[in-house]
Chain A
Amino acid sequence: QLQLQESGPGLVKPSETLSLTCTVSGGSISTDTYYWGWIRQSPGKGLEWIGNVFHGGSTYYNPSLKSRVTISVDTSQNQFSLELRSVTAADTAVYYCARASFGVVTAYFDYWGQGNLVTVSS
C-alpha cells in the first residue's frame, strides 16, 4: 500500500523559507506513470494546488506561487520536497503531499499524506 508522509517544521518565521519533505513508501517515486504534488489548505479554507514534480525533475507550479516555490525530487531517498520562500502569515496552512496522475488524459491526486500544519509567526 502506497503511503506518503510529510515532515518538516511546524513553525516558520515571516520572511524565512518553509521547507517540507514527503517520504514515499510502498512504491517507487521513480515511476514513469505519476507525478508528485503539493497542495495546501489554509485554516477553514479550500484546497490550493502548489505544484507537481516528475522523478526526472520536470515541474509545474501554480502561477500565483511560482516566483517563491521550488519542488524537487530525491530518487535515492524516495522523497520529494517543497521550498516556499519569503513566507507571510498568509502561507499558514496544512500542507499535503500527494501522488498525481497527471498527463495527457488525466489529472487527479489519488494518494495523499496526512498533512503537515505549518504556522508562519514570529
Chain B
Amino acid sequence: QQQVKQSPQSLIVQKGGISIINCAYENTAFDYFPWYQQFPGKGPALLIAIRPDVSEKKEGRFTISFNKSAKQFSLHIMDSQPGDSATYFCAASLVGGGYNKLIFGAGTRLAVHP
C-alpha cells in the first residue's frame, strides 16, 4: 500500500513533442506528490510538486495533472528538448513515524531526440 507505481520505464520523444509519465498510488494518506529529475552522475533534484487539493500545477513547460479519485498523477513536459533527457522519478509523501517519508517510483528514463 506504500508503493508508487510509475510508467513507462523508458520513453523516447522527438524534440518539440510532449512527454507524459504516469504514476499511481494506493494509500490515500499521501499528501504531497513531487517529481524529481536526475541527470547521469548527479543526484535527483526537485522539479515540481503538487498537493491533492489541486488538480493541476504548471511551471514553465512542466505540468503535473492530479486525479485524486483515480489516485493517479502524471508529469507532462511540453515542447520537449534534448536537455530534458534524464530520469524522472515521481514520489509521494507519507506522514509516518513523525516525519514526511518520500516513497519513490521506479523511475522513467526519458530520451528526447533532436
A and B associate = no
Q: Interface on B for A, CB 8 Å cutoff?
A: none
